A and B are shown apart, each in its own frame.
Chain A
Amino acid sequence: MEMSEKKEEEKKKFTTISIPTPLFEKIKERIKGTGFTSVSSYVTYVLRELLAEKEEEEEPFTKEDEERIKARLRALGYID
């Protein structure tokens, strides 16, 4: 793959968002001496962490599923 094509590909994987400059500076200070190599990587990390917290509760089992699973677990000795 040519260099220009590679750059194009990279562009597709990232996008730009705007944050206030003072916040940017604050983050720049905060990440000094940490494993974060850029403000972008820090912001990405924090946002991912925040979004993950918002995950909803698990869907319940259907009656059919429940009966089938219960029978198999019982047959295998996992439940009484």
Chain B
Amino acid sequence: MPKPHGGKLIERIIKGKRKERLLKEAEEIEKITVEKGVAADIENIAKGVYSPLEGFMTREELETVLHLKRLPNDIPWTLPILLDLPKDLEGSIKEGDDVTLTYRESPLAIMHIDEIYPFNKKEIAEYTFETTDEKHPGVAKVYRMAGKFIAGKIDLIDEPEGPYDRYKLSPKETRYLFRQKGWKTIVGFQTRNPPHLGHEYLQKTALTFLDGVFINPVIGTKKKGDFKDEVILQAYEILIERYYLKNHAVLAILPYEMRYAGPREAVHHAIMRKNFGCTHFIVGRDHAGVGNYYKPYAAQEIFEEFPDLGIAPLFFKTFFYCRKCGGITHEKACPHSDEYRLKFSGTRIREILRSGKLPPRELMRPEIAEVIIKNPNPFVE
């Protein structure tokens, strides 16, 4: 199993008497209300999913991440993890202060402020997303942030509760679990969709030479038209129960807000799975992309810049069903032309499901499709 990113699994969760004391203190100090995505970042920092980060980024960290795709100590890191200072709190919070980060009106964490700094949001967008187009959801989010950022370590005092907590594991827990199962090689699979047969084929191809698959759907804020969390989980439950060997697959959620940063986010996804204990990570076509902002395989090419990442990316080309081959195959294995190929187009499958019909069984298992269409509204509105 690989060492956590940066060498040490971060754990910044306050327990016991210290928690009681901090909860009391949290009421008395200045508060910053955070939204769901930031709450997920806080939880991920505290549990070590973002190891070696211990808090929100300083100016120096942000600069090296943007320009060098690394932290100041040369550890690969590609996405800015930022907290902006609400305009109405400017002046009442200063460096050296502690603040309470609240979520849904409850104290979530204490932040120890090391630095407050302004930064050019256009520069953040340009380097992170390779575009400054406001139509890009990640860029739009950066532009909505206030002009100043606050940096410093956080301590989680109360874990945010969610409806899918029974699927939530920390890196410490997955590392223990993988060891218990006797897995030495583990492939991480990132998803935000219910599985079609292309996904299943990807995972099982990896399973032919690795010990276990860690299916880790992203749960949290999504964009309109994405599948709802409950649908993704129900679909995977059925798939694993009926078509996987119990001792070779683990399903657990990742509370996280997608940035849609394409190549940079693919590396971030790999780092998170390394922290969970994965040795390998599947990177598909247009991983973490949106619209036409990234070249189809840019998210695979970026990995060439990181010989020291500590997790091996597995690159797959597009899979499809070939009527002549009579099965799922890919460009390197199938000699037949396009007319025989049924492609796993997410958009197309979504359209069929939206109309209440079952997609062809060559593309999606009927049991999975039924789970989706039985839901009165399987998509985010």
Contact = CB atoms under 8 A, between A and B. Distances in A.
B308 A69 contact: no
- Size class of the contact patch on chain A: 20 to 34
A49 B312 CA distance: 13
B68 A13 contact: yes
Contacts of B1: 58
The majority secondary structure among interface residues of chain A is helix
Contacts of B94: none
B74 A48 contact: yes
Interface in B320-375: none
Contacts of B2: 55, 58
Nearest to B8: A59
Interface residues of B, number: 27
Contact of A48 (B67, B175, B250, B307): B307
Nearest to A79: B180
Given A58-B3, A69-B172, A45 B307 contact: yes
A13 B172 contact: no
A52 B307 contact: yes
A70 B308 contact: no
Nearest to B4: A58
B176 A49 contact: no
B161 interface: no
A57 B2 CA distance: 8
A72 interface: yes
A58 B3 CA distance: 5
Interface in B38-92: 63-64, 67-68, 74
Interface of B: 1-4, 7-8, 63-64, 67-68, 74, 166-167, 169, 172-173, 175-177, 180, 250, 304, 306-310
